[in-house]
Structure 1
Amino acid sequence: MNLSFVAILILILSFPSPSISVRCNPKDKQVLLQIKKDLGNPYHLASWDPNTDCCYWYVVKCDRKTNRINALTVFQANISGQIPTGVGDLPYLEILQFHHITNLTGTIQPTIAKLTNLRMLRLSFTNLTGPIPEFLSQLKKLTLLELDYNQLTGTIPASLSQLPNLNAIYLDRNKLTGQIPESFGKFKGQIPDIYLSHNSLTGQVPRSLGDLNFSTLDFSRNKLEGDVSFLFGKNKTIQTIDLSRNALEFDLSKVELPESLTSLDLNHNRIFGSLPQGLKDLQLQFFNVSYNRLCGQIPQGGTLQTFDMYSYLHNKCLCGSPLPDCK
């Protein structure tokens, strides 16, 4: 072997080997390991090995600039117990998700209030109980609040309207009671899509909601009553309205419908009058007014005849295609 080559090799080996760069923040790593312990060391978190870099663990992500944990997204996991208090000790979290975990119980953890950088809070398809906490209104950066498919009870906090950046709020499929807050017609900044279906909400829809241009409102399967015609209007930009299976009562013939409307579900209410002629000018993709007290001829044209008779059945005296001819 060439002596000069051997000398160079010895020289290279004499230098200390460069250490492998570790991104994981030690504080975050300690918190995550405690979260794993509090959840009973589930198999779902088997990759959370203290001897490895936590930025590469399953269901977590690190910010590339700060190397701090900014996402914890646990989903479809065989995990039992409550949301660990440690989640509040990950101050850089922007996304927190516990989704489709049916054995997750307890209340919404109060330490979540410390996560002022949260943009997405998704606690859904679990067995969380208790009220929707007031402290959620402190998370001003939230763009998505998803608390659907749980066992949450009590009333909807009026303070949620103080969240200025919400794109959508999902409170559907719970056991919520009381009225829709008047404040939901006073969102500042972004106007969110609102999903409140499959609860036990009562009373009238606040008239203040008529002052805002929502894109989607789903209040179906509650116990709401009264007149909601103010949700409509020629100048509105709403696209989807689902008010089905309530006890709403108003004259549909006097309603002016926005051109933007693509989905309208009013089935199983006490709505009377006739169908507005303006319906035939809309590009409707879904339409159902069955089980009401409507009368008169169904307007002919547009998309109205593309829906089958089940969209119109069980009214007082509706007639015309796709129902039998008017007499």
Structure 2
Amino acid sequence: MPMFERLVACCKYASFVESVTFADCSLPGISTSLSHFNLTTLNVLDLGGNSINSTLPPWLRNLTSITYLDLSSNEFHGVISDEFLRLSTLNNLFLGYNGFKGMNPKALRYLCNLRSLDLSSFNIGGEIMEWVEMLPRCVRNNLQTLYLNDNNLGGNLSGWLEQMNSLTDINLGSNLLSGSIPAGVWKLPNLIYLYLYNNSLEGVVSDVELSYLRKIQYLDLSLNALTVRVHDDWVPPFQLKEIFLASCQLGPNFPAWLKSQSQLEGLDLSKSKIADTLPSWF
């Protein structure tokens, strides 16, 4: 009996199994049938970072108490249809970095408790607004983490992103997004992580917009056609851990506001048209 099935077989003797974690265990596969096991008490299932080559197993529909489901970084494939329709308790869903070929537009319609959604490298394509509209309004209002990076999503950020007021973590990097960054995005009150790298975004980002980001810690605007324009005496209201502005226009002066960033762990200002000597404090 494969390792995953052996664990579940042991679990059948417990009345209330709540968590099963097999992350990064090199699992090559899982059974498509676990009908003889009771999975209705399971809250956490983490199978991320394995080598599972399969379509989504039918028994996922029986995880009616699940709150955390991580299937990311495997080799799951096929089209997602109704596997998640009954999982109304789900808070965190991680499906990124698999081989899925699409998703039924109604696949997430009942997940009103969803707080984190990872569809990174999901082979989505199309207009980003079409995919956002697949999310029920209750999800759009309450979602805190949204990862749609490394897809081929086109369109712009207007008319939807600024309305998702609960977001703390956004990664829309490596898509085909264009246009400017809407003013409302900078005003999202809880943003900690904003990654918009490697798109075709354009326009000016000034200290006015950046001053709204009071909680921001991770900011990546690199590989866009953006101009970052701030006053020499501007003091940011935040402390960044990472900031990546490669290929943004910052120069010609070295950004003096970086002097206030005492917690920086990652910085990329390459190809930003800075023509200045490094300051003594750097």
Q: Which bin holds the TM-score, normalised by the shorter protein?
A: 0.7 to 0.9
Using structure 1 for the length normalisation, give the TM-score. 0.65
Q: Percent identity?
A: 24
1:241 positional shift: 0.7
Give the structure-2-normalised TM-score. 0.74
Q: 1:90 aligns with which of 53, 60, 63?
A: 63
Aligned residue type for 2:57: P
Cα contact 2:68–2:91 (8 A) shared by 1: yes
CA separation in 2, counterparts of 1:251 and 1:200?
A: 24
Match of 1:113, SS?
A: coil
1:34-78 CA-to-partner distances (Å, cap 9, x unmatched) read xxxxxxxx93533244994376699479xxxx9723333323444
Corresponding residue SS for 1:197: coil
**Residue in structure 1 matched with residue 35 of structure 2 by the alignment:** none
TM-aligned CA distance change 1:135 to 1:256, over 3 Å: farther
Q: What SS class does the counterpart of residue 107 from structure 1 fall into?
A: strand
Distance 2:41 2:102 in 1: 31
Residue 175 (structure 1) aligned to one of 152, 158, 172: 152
How far is 1:125 from its partner?
A: 2.4
**Distance apart, 1:234 and its partner CA:** 6.8
Aligned to 2:65, the other structure's residue is in SS state coil
- Equivalence for 2:41: 68
Q: Take 1:71 and 1:220, find their aligned partners in 2: how far apart are those partners?
A: 32
Of 250, 273, 281, which residue of structure 2 is paired with 1:293? 273
Contact 1:197/1:218 (<8 A) preserved: yes
Q: 1:52 to 1:235 in 2, by over 3 A?
A: closer
1:239 corresponds to 2:217: yes
Could you give the per-residue CA deviations for residues 103-140 of structure 1, whole angstroms, max 9, x where no partner exists?
x1123333313311101101122112226956546422
1:187 matched to 2:164? The reply is yes
Q: Structure 1 CA distance, aligned partners of 2:252 and 2:106?
A: 41
CA RMSD of aligned residues (A): 3.4
- Residues 227/131 of structure 1: CA separation in 2 closer, same or farther (3 Å cut): farther
Q: Distance in 1 between matches of 2:203 and 2:104?
A: 26
Larger RCO: 1 or 2 (CA < 8 Å, sep 6+):
2
Is the CA contact (8 Å cut-off) linking 2:114 and 2:143 kept in structure 1? Answer: yes
Aligned-partner Cα distance in 2 for 1:259–1:45: 45
| Structure 2 residues without counterparts, runs of 5 or longer | 23-38
Residue 45 of structure 1 pairs with residue 4 of structure 2: yes
Q: Which amino acid aligns with 2:2?
A: Y
- The structure with the larger Rg is 1
> Aligned equivalents of 1:117 and 1:57: distance in 2?
13
Q: Which runs of 5+ in 1 are unaligned?
A: 1-41, 306-327
Q: How does 1:1-327 map to 2 (within 5 A)?
A: 43-47=2-6, 48-49=8-9, 52-53=12-13, 59=20, 68-102=41-75, 104-130=76-102, 133=105, 136=108, 138-156=110-128, 157-159=131-133, 162-163=138-139, 164-188=141-165, 190-213=166-189, 214-229=191-206, 231-233=209-211, 236-253=214-231, 257-283=236-262, 284-301=264-281, 305=282
In 1, distance between residues paired with 2:118 and 2:181? 21
Distance 1:193 1:112, change over 3 A: same
Q: Distance in 2 between matches of 1:204 and 1:132?
A: 30
- Aligned length in residues: 255
1:114 match: secondary structure: coil
